[in-house]
């Protein structure tokens, strides 16, 4: 039994065993990764270099871009390497580091989206008190609280997951180390881990999602009272990107962690994982850029300056 608990590496699942399909997956992941990096870095640099974008809303957007770059970098490079070399092994320590990183940046994504909802609520519902309620001290405190809380949450989950013994087999049915699939191959009692996941979802995720939806409820009621059509459109245009990003991320992540075993399948597991780990970092800069004229102007001005 002592030997059964020793696990030095895990075997990740690929998208295909066919060599040609593996090359295709590598190319697709490479394009997605480069687009995500380019989009988030452009948005980040545009905000940093333009003084008129130095406001709380864009400060949180910069934090979200940093989180997105780190988030997609924890999964995609390893998946690309596995597709290109057909080497799907990941060390025990590497798997633990990947779990910690995924949880950290997924958690920061949710926390930052919640803070951004509060920022939009104050800006639209209490515009005269905005500079008082969302000053730079408050912004720094909220950003610090978001990152610190997600680091603690990720560390707790990682420690409790890797205290388990993995003695069934070392194949993880996912393209990265994911807690639900690690629990499946554990031969230790996993009730504590399952309870922790349930408690986190009920308390933290419900709080964040509830705060976001309540904020937007007040926002939509306030916007409907705006007399001019142009004013209502401007208010909605600043909110709909954020609500779209949150809905995509939250629903796919909730499905990945809370779906019943009866709904688990090879294709569905991969699809849900891609939806919450790959698409948000790729789509966030696109959604915010397409819906925000200030960012569009800043990016185009920066690109024109660079190439002229």
**pLDDT tens by residue, 234-276:** 666 666 766 777 777 777 777 766 666 666 667 777 777 887 8
Which tokens go with 1? 């039994």
Give me the pLDDT at residue 206, please: 81
CB of 253 within 8 A of CB of 106?
yes
Residue 256 CA to its chain's centroid (Å)? 13
With beta carbons less than 8 A apart as the criterion, state whether 106 and 276 touch. yes
What digits encode the pLDDT tens for the residues 61-108?
Answer: 899 999 999 999 999 999 888 888 888 889 999 999 999 999 999 889
Q: Categorize the per-residue pLDDT at 4 as very low, low, confident or very high, splitting at 50, 70 and 90.
A: very low
What is the value of pTM for the model shown? 0.85
pLDDT in tens, 133-179: 889 999 999 999 999 999 998 999 999 899 888 876 788 888 899 88
The DSSP secondary-structure symbol of 202 reads: I
Dist. CA 195–CA 249, nearest whole Å: 22
Indicate the average pLDDT of the chain. Answer: 82
Residue 1: predicted pLDDT: 40
């Amino acid at each position: 039994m002592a030997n059964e608990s020793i696990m030095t590496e895990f075997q990740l699942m690929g998208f295909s065993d066919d060599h040609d399909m593996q090359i295709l997956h590598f190319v697709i992941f490479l394009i997605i990764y480069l687009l995500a990096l380019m989009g988030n870095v452009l948005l980040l640099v545009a905000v940093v270099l333009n003084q008129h974008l130095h406001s709380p809303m864009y400060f949180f957007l910069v934090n979200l871009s940093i989180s997105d770059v780190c988030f997609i970098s924890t999964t995609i490079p390893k998946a690309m390497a596995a597709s290109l070399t057909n080497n799907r092994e990941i060390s025990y320590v590497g798997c633990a580091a990947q779990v910690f990183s995924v949880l950290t940046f997924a958690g920061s994504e949710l926390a930052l989206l919640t803070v951004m909802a509060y920022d939009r609520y104050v800006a639209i519902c209490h515009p005269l008190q905005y500079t008082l309620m969302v000053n730079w001290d408050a912004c720094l405190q909220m950003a610090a609280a978001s990152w610190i809380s997600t680091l603690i949450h990720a560390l707790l989950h990682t420690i409790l997951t890797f205290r388990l013994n993995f003695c069934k087999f070392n194949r993880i049915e996912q393209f990265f180390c994911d807690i639900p699939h690690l629990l499946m191959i554990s031969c230790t009692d996993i009730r504590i881990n399952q309870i922790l996941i349930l408690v986190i979802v009920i308390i933290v995720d419900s709080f964040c999602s509830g705060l976001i939806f309540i904020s937007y409820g007040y926002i939509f009621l306030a916007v409907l009272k705006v007399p001019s059509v142009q004013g209502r459109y401007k208010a909605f245009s600043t909110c709909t990107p954020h609500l779209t990003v949150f809905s995509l991320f939250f629903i796919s992540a909730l499905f990945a962690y809370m779906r019943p075993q009866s709904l688990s399948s090879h294709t569905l597991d991969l699809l849900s994982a891609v939806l919450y780990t790959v698409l948000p970092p790729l789509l966030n800069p696109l959604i915010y850029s397409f819906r925000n004229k200030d960012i569009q102007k800043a990016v185009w001005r920066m690109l024109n300056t660079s190439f002229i």
